[in-house]
Structure 1
Amino acid sequence: MNAFRFAAVLSLLSAPVLADEVWTSDMGQIVYQAEEGGAAIFSFTNVDAYSAKLIIPGLAGNYSDRSSHAAYWIGQGAGACTAFMSHGDEPASSQWGRAQVVFDDPAFPTSLTVILGFCLDEPNIVIRGE
């Protein structure tokens, strides 16, 4: 194998594939699902057992300089927020809120803590992903 091919293969192996980033929590899996418009999109099961998405602006493509990131989440179940929010083609939901995502280490792979709040409330619900 020539040096160019070796370098190309090595570069493919050094960066994680999105769906390869999966954390296990008490609520189930947290999965790095996609990247859209500079945001990383994680799927997870919310504390009320409904599917939800975590949208983390500015995290897309960042696998080596992670820290604490402001985010928001949108759930599928009935919510208590007075306004509705949507993401992509999904229907608007009144189940959403602010979030904070805190990585243990700056580089992939690492564990994380997701802190959720409902609506505009300060995040205070902790989900730990290993």
Structure 2
Amino acid sequence: MIVAGCSRFGANIASILSAKGKDVVVLDSDNLAFRKLAPEYSGFTIQADATDIDALTKAGIAKADVVVAATNDDNTNIMIAEIASKLFNVSQVISRLYDTEKEIVYQDFDIQTIYPSRLSICEFEKLISTDLLEGLK
């Protein structure tokens, strides 16, 4: 499994996968970003641009079952996801997007997306509904 981007999201995903015994490689252009990984993280880290095909090849993308595009930049995540999906035929590609208007880019690709803003709104709606219902009792 490859996690491209050691953002908080990427670091947590990589740490969880590593704790479950998965083989994980994290790529990030900023070597300091790797400090976000859990102390017990047992995977590999590569300081490199995850849009660089040579870096992805070094990370083992040709054998990867899953690629997670988890940088803090939507355009970078789109590029990584398309490279993984179209050039390397990775079976499961997951990309984080902040801007929901960019989801149209993924319509013709078999790429799963995670939208933090949508998830936050859904959680807010659950909380506000619960609080309002409890206030009516």
TM range (shorter): under 0.3
Higher share of residues assigned strand: 1
Higher share of residues assigned helix: 2
Normalised by the length of structure 1, the TM-score is 0.24
Normalised by the length of structure 2, the TM-score is 0.23
